[in-house]
Every structure is written in structure tokens, then in C-alpha cells.
Structure 1
Amino acid sequence: MLSTIALDTQVLRPGLCTGCGACQGLCPYWGSVDGRTVCFFDCERLDGRCQRFCPRMPTDLDALRKRFFPEDTILPEIGPFRGLYLTRAADPGLRAKAQHGGSMTALVELALKEGFIDAAVLTRSKGGLDPEGVLAATAEEVRSCSGSSFQVPPTLAVLNRALKEDQYHSIGVVGTPCKTLAVYKMKANPLPENDNHAGNIGMVFGLFCGWGLDWDGLKALTERHAGGAAVSHMDIPPSKYHSLELRKEGEETVSVNLDEVVPLVRSGCRYCADMTAEFADLSIGGARSADGWDVDKGWNQIIVRSEKGQRLLDLAREKSVLEFKDAMEGGLEKLKKASLGKKRTAVKNLRELTGKPEDLGYLNPSRELFQDL
């Protein structure tokens, strides 16, 4: 049996918590303050959803993947794979408000319209500061969540509350890799005596992710470089630019040297072995192509992982919701290389954390997946 105390000793204290919110919205014991997960009361339950769903509690990733995805579709570097596409939203108004090409917003909106989902758990970025999780049930509500944030709100608390209320029966979820892993743990681990209605999760949309940033630290950095002006957009260009871009109201952009940003990376992100949100129906990130950043920042790359994801993407093409262009030659290999690099960094950091080369912490049940790294 598990103990909820394990979340404190195995996740919070070692600095593994991702702030995803999977432990929240279930009971009054767990909450979040400025992106930090907080246990308000001691709990002596021997078993509970909080530790079952936490993406940093030990998980047999191999078994979980094989439960939900055909084994012959799984690539070791990036997980389930049925195709790689470069896309952008056909609607220029949607693209103008998006982080990059607006593909995620367009696909979630289409999924809602066509009945793939009946609501969606999203993050309203608010320009990148103080983001919040929301439950969207209309196209207008979906569009209000365009854009991204490098702060990580406890979005899955919203999902937990929605599942508990049992009002929607095909909920879409958009999240970073830690969040999408937690969602698949929900789908795999309902508590029989008090079902969490995980069958009401309709689709999972993953976001490529390098890392998230400390809430207070990012606020202070933004204040220093934007001078108190409202920030409407944040982005990190390809590594050669070595910068964080802050777009102030009025469209003026300020570049911040990445050396100021890296110290703000959340501790838990340093132990994440997933760059492309491997547990999802579709995973979406910024494009990388031979055309360069000025073009790429207006496009997305999409990994299709499931049959349902493929059906939605095909429908987006058929209805001209998305525009497509050919993926860059060698693009898949570059993506696999980048993803593998994140896995190696996570394994290195976990070995340093545990002090034992054979002990990979929360990855131990799937240690063989990482044995050559």
C-alpha cells in the first residue's frame, strides 16, 4: 500500500514536484501557492488518488505505454509515433494570438465542434504571467487560452474537479509532458470504491516542453526588463539565439540573455525525461525547419500518436482548419536527437540526486528503458 506521506518524502522534499496539480482538486489537503504545491494538512490515508496520479511517483512507463499504444508504434526516443507534420491554423486571426502557429487552439476548437470532446481543460496564459487552469466548453473560451506561459499552473486540479462533478463525459486535456503522464495514470488507476470518472477523459493534447520557470523569479525578471509594462507574449527562440523574448504591449520586444533565465528553471524540470509529451493523442511544439526562425515561429510540428489523433488531424486537413507543409528532411531525426538529449540529462541529474548510478528515482520501475543513457 502507498501512503500520502510519500508525496512529501519522495516528491516535494527532493525537488521533484512539477506543480502539475494532479494531487489537487481531490480533497482539501493539497493546494498550490504561486506555482508551489503545498500540503495543508497531514494525511494518514494508506492509499489515495494524489499519489496514484502524481507523475513523479514511481511509474512503470513501459507497461503504461503498452496499455494505451500499440507496441509497434513506439520509438524509444519520442514514444508512440504515427507521423510528423508541419502545420499552422488557417485562420490568420487565430495565428495572431497564438504562441506559434495556432495549431493547438485550432485542433481543440475543431475537436469540440465535431464531438471528439465536450469540454477542454486548458491553461489561460494571460501573456505569460500568473497563468490559470480553466475548463472551456465553447470556441470562444478555447480561443481565450491561446498562447503559452513558462510558469506552470496546477491545471490538473481543474480536471480533477471536472471529473468529480461528472458533468462532461469526453473532456480534452492540454498539458506539458508531466501533466499528460499524470492524465494517463488517472486513466489507468481509478479507485474502485470511489471512481474518479477517468473514462470521461476524451482526448489528450501534449505540448513539447523543455522546462518551466519559478513563478516569483520570472515575475522579477520581467519587471527588470519590461519596466513594469504589461507583457503580452513570451517565447524562447532556438538555442543559437540564447534568449528569452518578452513582447510588451505595443509590440515592442525585449531580449533577455538566457543566462539570466536558466537559474529560474524549476527543480522538478531538471529530472524530466520527456520533451515531446509522449503520453498523448497528439503532441505539438514549435516548428523547426530549414526556413529559419523568422518563418518557423509561425508554424508548429505535430506528432500523431493515436488513431483518434490521426482522425482529428485528417479532419483538420479536410475542413481546411489547418494548413500543412512538408516536414524538413531529417526533421524526425533531429527531433529524436533533441528528445534523447533531454532523457540523458534527466538520467544524469537523477543519478546525482540519488547518489547511486543504478537508482533513477521515480524512473526505477522502467529503469531498463534508460539503461543505455
Structure 2
Amino acid sequence: MLSTIALDTQVIKPGLCTGCGACQGMCPYWDSVEGRTLCYFDCERKDGRCQGFCPRMPTDLDALRRQFFPADTILPEIGPFLGLYLTRAADPAIRAGAQHGGTMTALVELAIKEGFIDAAVMTRSQGGLEPEGVLATTAEEVRACSGSSFQVPPTLAVLNKALREDRYHSIGVVGTPCKTLAVYKMKSKPLTENDNHADNIGMVFGLFCGWGLDWEGIRDLTAKHADPAKVSHMDIPPSKYHSLELRENGETVSVNLDEVTPLVRSGCRYCTDMTAEFADLSVGGARSADGWDVDKGWNQVIVRSEKGMKLLELAREKGILEFKDPPETGLDKLKGASLGKKRTGLKNLRGLTGNEDDLGYLNPSKELFQEL
């Protein structure tokens, strides 16, 4: 089967595409327009990097985990686990522009400064709208990527271009679960004769993710409630608030989540990873007994690899991050939330295939999900 036909029939048409960009930046065949993945030409290759890297093509997740993580570190609900931490950037300037505590910005900035990586593939947006993938090499460029966007840009096209150019030899990647999975598929070198310089991937920084939204839909919804040019930030607080928050001129505008959920991308409904399990460390918004007013200024961090632990401890040593103890129930609650997303994704996949035993792109790893 030709690679473009496989991606079209197995990923694009069934609505599984995440818009990550893993298929782009390597050849002129694939592109993206406002979150929609497009193929301009048929390809005559019987396999290809686009097919090999796509996070929604069949993947043996168990084999991929064993290749990169010790088996005794893997928790079934959240993947590789060396520790859970609550942190925030010590620099108030980083926190001021951050989604929550600014931990990711501070860590990536430190990783570049200390030589863990020499560049970072990140996402830059305008208050959460019109995001684009960028390659950041300075602290200023990293900080310009603070905040989050619920539109999903093809960030990995930037990574593929950087790998192809072979200019940087330790590239960091910041991404949502679908993107970090694609990066680890690159690192596994599925096509050994042409692996796209995958050894130049230095670190992977995962972002917790519930879902992404339709580009045009969230743009229109934002304009309905605020002036998009004046929105500096958007966020989804804990479920009890049932809202999307827009920050316009320093004031918070709340949008009922019932207006938001119809805009969730189709591909996100089949995702079973909330915490970006394929990463050196993963960062999300904090959850504690202190309540949202406190938690929105902090992050929770899962460390997954020794390299991730080394960077986090260096951030502690140098005072780049502030730490506080996670709640005793923090890990159990995180596991529960992650498990909920897995079960929802599995239910939707079974509905898509029409077969209880057919988990679509997860079929090579079906045994990992049997207990769910």
C-alpha cells in the first residue's frame, strides 16, 4: 500500500488525524492549512517517513516503551514514572506570561543555557490563537512561546525541517501527547536507511492535554465573547467550573464549556494519552487541595527519564524553579484522570471500528489496554 493512500484511508478519512505535522516538512507532498492536513500529490513509495512517524498509524506501544524506558518504571495509567512534583518558575516575569506556573518555559530555557539541548521546537501563538511551530534558540524566543493554544499547529513540520538540515544536534521538542509519540517513533528509526537524523533529537518535553479544537470554530467563538486582538491568554480550569476562560485586557471572560466541546477535533476523541507518556518529563496544570486560585499559578511535573530528572534537579539547585510538596492524593487523582481519558478513547475507537476487539491504531498494543 502506498504511504499517502495508507495515511488517507487509515488516518485522514476516519477522522483520526491530530494535525501534529509529523508527516510534513520532509517533502512537498504533505501540508497543513489551519489545522487541516492536506496531501497535494500521490506518492509511489511503498513506505515512507510520513507513514512511519504518524502517531495514528498502527504502533507497538509496548515495544516502543521497552526501547526507551525501563519496564519497572512504567505505571499502566500514566506511563514511565520517576516522580511527581509541584513546581513554578522562580522568575516572576516568566510566570506573568505563562499558562500556569511557567515551569515548561523555565525548564526549556535552562536546558538550552546548560547545553542539554541547542534548540527547541515550540509553539508560539497570539493569546492562544493562530499558533505556529517555531525553532527557539534563545531565552527571548523561548519566552515568546509562553502560554497555550487549543488550536493545534503542525509543529513537528518544524522539527522535520530542522532534522533534515542537520544544523542542530540536540533538539528539544515541546508537544502534546500525539506529538511526543510521533517524536519517539522518529527516535525508534522505523526506516533505518533514512531516519531523518533522529539522533539529533535531544530531549522531549510533554504537555498534558485533554483535546484540541477546530481552528475556525475556536476563532469564531473567541470573537463572539471578546476582541481576539486583545485576548492574551486562554485556559480550561478544572471541570467543576465548566468553562473556557479568556483573558481580555487583564479581565477574565468565562465561556460555557457547552459552547466549546462541539469544537473538539475528531482525532482527539480517539486519544488515550492525557499526560504525554512518551517524554523525558511532562508538565500540566497543578491540582491540589489549595483550590484553583492557587493551583493556576503552579504546575505538576511527571519525571519519566534520568535526563529529565537531571534537568529538574538542576533547576532546583540553581533556584530556577520553586517546589512544594504534591498532595498525598495527587498521584492517585492524576492516575484516575488519565484512566478516564483512556477509557473514553477506547470506547470511541470501538465505536469507530464497530468491533469490540478492534482498537484501530492501537491494535498492535491491544494487550496494554485489556484491563481497561
> Residue in 2 aligned with 1:347?
346
Alignment deviations for residues 71-112 of structure 1 (CA, whole Å, 9 cap, x no partner)? 000000000000000000000011000000000000000000
Q: Note the C-alpha offset of 1:43.
A: 1.4
**Any conservation in 1 of the 2:30–2:37 contact (CA below 8 Å)?**
yes
Greater mean deviation of Cα atoms: 135-144 or 73-82: 135-144
> Residue in 1 aligned with 2:289?
290
**Any conservation in 1 of the 2:189–2:195 contact (CA below 8 Å)?**
no
Q: Note the C-alpha offset of 1:45.
A: 1.1
Q: Note the C-alpha offset of 1:139.
A: 1.0
For residues 119 and 275 of structure 1, the distance between their equivalents in structure 2, rounded to whole angstroms, comes to 26
Alignment deviations for residues 49-74 of structure 1 (CA, whole Å, 9 cap, x no partner)? 00000000000001100110000000
1:263 and 1:56, CA in 2 relative to 1: closer, same or farther beyond 3 A?
same
What TM-score, normalized by structure 1, do the two folds share? 0.98
1:15 and 1:146, CA in 2 relative to 1: closer, same or farther beyond 3 A?
same
Greater mean deviation of Cα atoms: 139-148 or 72-81: 139-148
> Residue in 2 aligned with 1:47?
47
Q: For residue 40 of structure 1, what is the amino acid of its counterpart?
A: Y
For residues 307 and 11 of structure 1, the distance between their equivalents in structure 2, rounded to whole angstroms, comes to 34
Q: For residue 99 of structure 1, what is the amino acid of its counterpart?
A: Q
**Any conservation in 2 of the 1:80–1:305 contact (CA below 8 Å)?**
yes
* 1:221-300 aligned within 5 A: 221-248=221-248, 250-300=249-299
For residues 229 and 108 of structure 1, the distance between their equivalents in structure 2, rounded to whole angstroms, comes to 27
**Any conservation in 2 of the 1:172–1:201 contact (CA below 8 Å)?**
yes
Q: For residue 359 of structure 1, what is the amino acid of its counterpart?
A: D
Q: Note the C-alpha offset of 1:44.
A: 2.1
**Any conservation in 2 of the 1:86–1:327 contact (CA below 8 Å)?**
yes
Q: Note the C-alpha offset of 1:191.
A: 2.8
Q: For residue 153 of structure 2, what is the amino acid of its counterpart?
A: P
> Residue in 2 aligned with 1:334?
333
For residues 321 and 88 of structure 1, the distance between their equivalents in structure 2, rounded to whole angstroms, comes to 9
Q: For residue 341 of structure 1, what is the amino acid of its counterpart?
A: G
Q: For residue 139 of structure 2, what is the amino acid of its counterpart?
A: A
> Residue in 1 aligned with 2:362?
363
Does residue 1:126 correspond to 2:126, yes or no?
A: yes
Q: For residue 157 of structure 1, what is the amino acid of its counterpart?
A: A
For residues 134 and 217 of structure 2, the distance between their equivalents in structure 1, rounded to whole angstroms, comes to 24
**Any conservation in 1 of the 2:2–2:43 contact (CA below 8 Å)?**
no
**Any conservation in 2 of the 1:190–1:198 contact (CA below 8 Å)?**
no
> Residue in 1 aligned with 2:11?
11
For residues 277 and 17 of structure 1, the distance between their equivalents in structure 2, rounded to whole angstroms, comes to 17
The size of the alignment, in residue pairs, is 372
Does residue 1:208 correspond to 2:208, yes or no?
A: yes
Give me the identity figure in percent: 83
**Any conservation in 1 of the 2:169–2:200 contact (CA below 8 Å)?**
yes
For residues 332 and 283 of structure 1, the distance between their equivalents in structure 2, rounded to whole angstroms, comes to 14
Q: Note the C-alpha offset of 1:42.
A: 1.4
Alignment deviations for residues 324-348 of structure 1 (CA, whole Å, 9 cap, x no partner)? 0000111000000000000000000
> Residue in 2 aligned with 1:76?
76
Q: Note the C-alpha offset of 1:253.
A: 1.4
For residues 209 and 117 of structure 1, the distance between their equivalents in structure 2, rounded to whole angstroms, comes to 24
Q: Note the C-alpha offset of 1:4.
A: 2.7
User: 1:130 is paired with a residue of what secondary structure?
Assistant: strand
> Residue in 2 aligned with 1:185?
185
User: 2:313 is paired with a residue of what secondary structure?
Assistant: helix
Instruction: Provide the aligned C-alpha RMSD in A.
Output: 0.9
